[in-house]
Amino acid sequence: MRSADRYRLIRRVAIVAGMVVLLVLPFITEAIDEPFYVDLVTRFMIFAIAAASLDLILGYGGMISFGHAAYLGIGGYAVAIFSFYGIDNGFLQLTVAIVGSALVALVIGAICLKTSGLYFIMITLAFTQMLYFLGVSLEEYGGDDGVNTNRSEFFEALDLYDSNTFYYFVFGLLVVCVLGLRRIVGSRFGRVISGAKSNELRMRAIGFPTFRYRLVAFAVSGAVCGVAGFLLGNLTEFVTPEYMHWSRSGELLVMVVMGGTGTIFGPVIGAVSFLLLEEWLSSLTEHWLLFFGPSLLLLVLFAKRGLYGLISPPTGEAE
Amino acid sequence: MAMSLPLILEQTLNGFQFGVFLFLIAAGLTLIFGIMNLVNLVHGSLYMMGAYFAAVAYQWSGSFLVALAVALPASFVVGIVLEIVALRTLYQRDHLDQVLATFGLILFFNQLMIFVFGAASQEMNLPQGLEGHVEIIAGAPYPTYRLVIIATGLAVALALYYLISRTRAGMLIRAGASNRAMIAALGINIRLLFTGIFGLGAMLAGLSGAMAGPILSVEPGMGEDMLILSFVVIVIGGIGSVQGAFVASVIVGVVETLGRSIIPFLLERILSNEAAQTAGPAITSMTIYILMAAVLFFRPRGLFPAKGG
Amino acid sequence: MKKVVIASGLVAALLATSAGAAETLKIGYINTFSGGAAILGKHQRDGFDLAIDHLGGKVGGLETEVIYGDDQRKPDVAKSLADKMIKKNRVNFIAGITWSNLLMAVQKSVTRSKTFLISTNAGASPMAGKLCNPYFFTTSWNNDQMPEAMGQLVQEAGDNNVFMMAPNYQAGKDMLAGFKRYYKGKVVGQILTKLGQKDYQAEISQVRAAKPETLYVFMPGGMGIAFMKQWGASGLAQSIQLYTVFTVDHLTLKPIGKAAIGTFHTNFWNHESDNPVNQKFIADFQKKYGYMPSHFAAQAYDAPLLIDSAVRAVNGDLSNKDGIRDAMRKADFKSVRGGFRYNTNHVPIQNFYRREVVAGADGNAKIVTTGVVFKDYKDSYYKDCKMTW
């Protein structure tokens, strides 16, 4: 029976190894002359940020949000709308993506967090559908035809049109977001959120205004996802309300569970695995969903704590 | 845009029919959630498969009755098999796991339909004899087939009412909705009960799919929109309550349908024509979501919460 | 993504040109093969593949490899596939794309990489106008051409008091706007329905209340099948003439059934034309796939033919992009639609036909071509395109 220390070591090694691989990937792909993989992994990392942000409220807070993709849209439109008017300043766009997502999350959260269980799931779904239909009606910005955008400009030196530069830019933000989220869940704030997940009554009895804590977590989670949306708009150089569709939210949920809820690192692995699996299977046959669908079912049935759970001690201590 | 009392009456009838149709789908869903505490996203796929069974049987036999006779038991069987093979283990799991597992099954079943039947829409026409109209409201011929849908929905509602409040099985259902442990303690075979209920819910979904075939498009993915609508309905009605599902279905049906006619009409009077053209359709798409949010704001557990604990 | 190496060793040996090494021509094909709308991807792919067959698997005289990708109807996936085909597979052409938004997502990076992009369906208007590009061609149409032809048809027919209906999204609005460019009569009402809506009884009631003579609708895919069935059941077909665009075609005709009889629509493809290329296309298509091709298949069929004519013109020298472009602009191939000519914006100048749905010999619905609405019709956006040649 492995001790908890052994598991901790394995996890540390795995995380460091993962970071190293991501760090040197562009060099490897250059050596084997497969530059496409830089773009592919960039897309993986963007969704990893989105999945990690969802884990804050899902894994730690127990809030199953079927509306998280809304912030991908908000972040994306922050880039596209400014670009539409000729403003490609990345600092401005990123700030608006973060603040805008946080504000929208606050409003949505204020209403949704009054409910729980399936009601919560449905009302988060409702809000994201409303945003989706709103986006479709906005003719000015292309409606559902979407709108092309330029990549953001930060400094003269930072040319985001270069695949490798963009890759490291996303990687940097991924590291910042993941470490930031880990800090939050390790803090007192994070512990209140997890406490409220397991026993809300007790937390309130102790004197914590759980609603307020949850709302803040909801807003932070939305804001980080807005960063992912900002990056997605940049990657595709195109934004459309389809980014906010409920099926996208469903995919984010799958990524989190696949990786392992309540771990922040897990969802990163989950996002990469999910997209890798999708990329691989769809190249094999046009009926790839016949295999992809049941694999989600099997994942849920047999890998209860996700991929990250495979290298965690059986007691499942939250670390 | 013309608006008159007869039109409003007609739209109310249309809304009522849409609501009854929604009830056919939502009834099974709320039963399953209420008794087994299972968030069942596959419900939309069962609706789709019911339509496919009916369409294929119709193409082969040329008779709508044969189509129904095939679709109903087939849906029941598919439901039972699905429950035993894949879903039974999910009862103990939390909602998130259930959502994800059933989400995966949606993808699978959509692709399965494409794989088996091809990606094209399936042919299914109105049953002969039901192609006519009845003038319920003067000057507004109403398709006979839609009256049949209303009749079917009401019949199912009555049957479910009778089942739940007058039979022993119904008693177990009500007991199971409020206290699962107790009925197990009483020595009832829970497994059999749950499987049976799931089969019943699947059959109801299949029935609504079969009824929808002649007037909608039988194609892969047809269940998704209905799925969302059914969840909206059971949330508004109160999870686990069939009575709540009925009331909520009718409310949603009428509000949504009237909304589509009245909201653009009102907006044209308040805003400029151009603004109304953009805002009108946008707001009508959001009507049911706004309705749901409003209901949940005042009643966070729906109109007729049935779940005890 | 399936790697299909379509080559015939013996034929290749026989036709090997002396000029330079015989490269492999690589074409990336991106379309929607999964999910609810997969049927559109299938029709186009079947047409595309048939053309490659007819060319003996050698487009432009070169061994041809087609790499397929399923875009899942997602813009970011489509772009990722395009990037992969360009960077990893090093394709010379990318063809396909059903949806306008996916086209807009893909066009920037594909054209930036100086790879030719051929749309076999998506006809987004910016690509015909301001964003026209030397590397972008289409073998289908510009979105607005069909509704414009429809407006002309209704105007010519002298039908008046039109009620219009389309789903509330960009394409829907474009279809209504295009119609109004040529129809100058009275519009008694307009409804933009919810995207994805399936039950139209309420809208039908509204139409009846407005008492129009004519109804013009755009309802693609499942929405259209549902609407047409319900329209047929409503009994209003006796008193209101129905004109449709992108709603009734050979793809949707069977599921719609008899409800389509008596309706009119326009299309660039005269399937009844005795043009030998067209006849061969229809005959071989039915033999190979077992169903009647739709215009989606027809427009995709022209794409390999276009590429073939261009590559032959430069004697297989795929690096001569300017030469290929000049050849593509000439469109010197025999199309299923008869003559094929490009406008300055790389959108076809083509005829639009008046098509009617009648009862066939077996009583089922059948589409017949009953006239020409526009001959050699140019789209409305080419003046915004700055390309000259």
Residues of B in contact with A292 (CB under 8 A): 104, 107-108
Sequence-distant (≥ 6) Cβ neighbours of residue C61 within 8 angstroms = C15, C17, C311, C312, C316
Distance CA C149, CA C179 (A): 7
Q: Write the residue in A39, A147, A282 that is nearest to C70 by C-beta.
A: A282
Q: Which of C216, C215, C211 is nearest to C177 (CA)?
A: C216
- Could you tell me which chain C residue has the CA closest to the CA of B129? C233
- Under an 8 A CB cutoff, do B95 and A117 touch? yes
Distance CA A172, CA A55 (A): 19
For the range A79-87, what are the long-range contacts, defined as Cβ-Cβ under 8 Å and sequence gap of 24 or more?
A: A79/A149, A79/A152, A79/A230, A79/A233, A79/A234, A79/A239, A80/A141, A80/A147, A80/A148, A80/A149, A80/A233, A80/A238, A80/A239, A81/A141, A81/A147, A83/A149, A83/A150, A84/A141, A84/A147, A84/A149
Q: Write the residue in B96, B101, B296 that is nearest to A123 by C-beta.
A: B296
Question: What single-letter amino acid sits at B291?
Answer: L
pLDDT band (50, 70, 90) for residue C15: very low
Residues of B in contact with A278 (CB under 8 A): none
Interface check C205 vs A, CB under 8 A:
no
Sequence-distant (≥ 6) Cβ neighbours of residue C231 within 8 angstroms = C200, C204, C237, C242, C259
Average pLDDT of chain C to the nearest whole number: 91
Residues C80-135 have pLDDT tens digits of 999 999 999 999 999 999 999 999 999 999 999 999 999 999 999 999 999 999 99
**Residue pair C62/C23 in contact by the 8 Å Cβ criterion:** yes
Tokens of C176: 């209504």
Distance CA B232, CA B229 (A): 5
Pairing of strands C62-70, C3-6: antiparallel
What domains are defined for chain A?
Answer: 4-309 (1.10.3470)
What domains are defined for chain C?
Answer: 3-141+273-342 (3.40.50.2300), 145-267+351-382 (3.40.50.2300)
Within 10 A of C246 (CB to CB), how many other CB atoms are there? 23
> Taking chain A (319 residues) in consecutive chunks of 10 residues, what is each chunk's mean pLDDT?
77 90 92 91 96 92 91 95 92 96 95 86 90 85 88 88 94 95 89 82 81 92 97 95 91 90 90 92 86 86 79 58
Run of H or E residues at A306: helix A306-309
Say if residue B114's pLDDT is above 80. Answer: yes
Residues B154-207 have pLDDT tens digits of 999 999 989 888 888 788 777 766 676 777 777 777 788 889 999 999 999 999
- Under an 8 A CB cutoff, do A139 and C2 touch? no
Question: HEC profile for A248-286?
Answer: HHHHHHHHHHHHCCCCCHHHHHHHHHHHHHHHHHHHHCC
Within 10 A of B156 (CB to CB), how many other CB atoms are there? 20
User: Within the 133-162 window of chain B, which residues sit less than 8 Å (CB to CB) from chain C?
Assistant: 133, 140-141, 143, 145-146
Run of H or E residues at B104: helix B95-117
Interface check B281 vs C, CB under 8 A:
yes
- The string of DSSP codes covering A197-222 is HH-HHHHHHHT--HHHHHHHHHHHHH
Tokens of A81: 């709308």
Name the least confident of A61-70, A77-86, C1-10, C318-327: C1-10
Q: Tokens 């369409």 label which residue?
A: B55
Run of H or E residues at C193: strand C187-193
Top pLDDT among A192 and C380 is at C380
Mean pLDDT to the nearest integer, B208-222: 93
Q: Write the residue in A40, A237, A242 that is nearest to C74 by C-beta.
A: A242
Residues C330-342 have pLDDT tens digits of 999 999 998 889 9
Residue B142 CA, chain-centre distance (Å), reads 22
Size of interface A-B (CB pairs under 8 A): 126
Q: Which of B207, B229, B218 is nearest to B152 (CA)?
A: B207
Mean pLDDT to the nearest integer, C204-219: 94
- Under an 8 A CB cutoff, do A143 and C169 touch? yes
Residues C285-307 have pLDDT tens digits of 999 999 999 999 999 999 999 99
- Under an 8 A CB cutoff, do C104 and A136 touch? no
Q: Write the residue in C209, C226, C234 that is nearest to B143 by C-beta.
A: C234
Interface check B120 vs C, CB under 8 A:
yes
Residues B7-49 have pLDDT tens digits of 888 999 999 999 999 999 999 999 888 888 888 999 999 999 9
Q: Which of C247, C287, C242, C283 is nearest to C267 (CA)?
A: C247
φ/ψ of residue B271, rounded to 5: -100, 175
- Under an 8 A CB cutoff, do B17 and C201 touch? yes
Tokens of A214: 């949850």
Q: Exposed, middle or buried by CB within 10 Å (0-12, 13-18, 19+), for C114?
A: exposed
SS3 B172: helix
Tokens of C305: 């033919």
Residues of B in contact with A299 (CB under 8 A): 100, 104
Q: Enumerate the domain spans of chain B.
A: 15-220
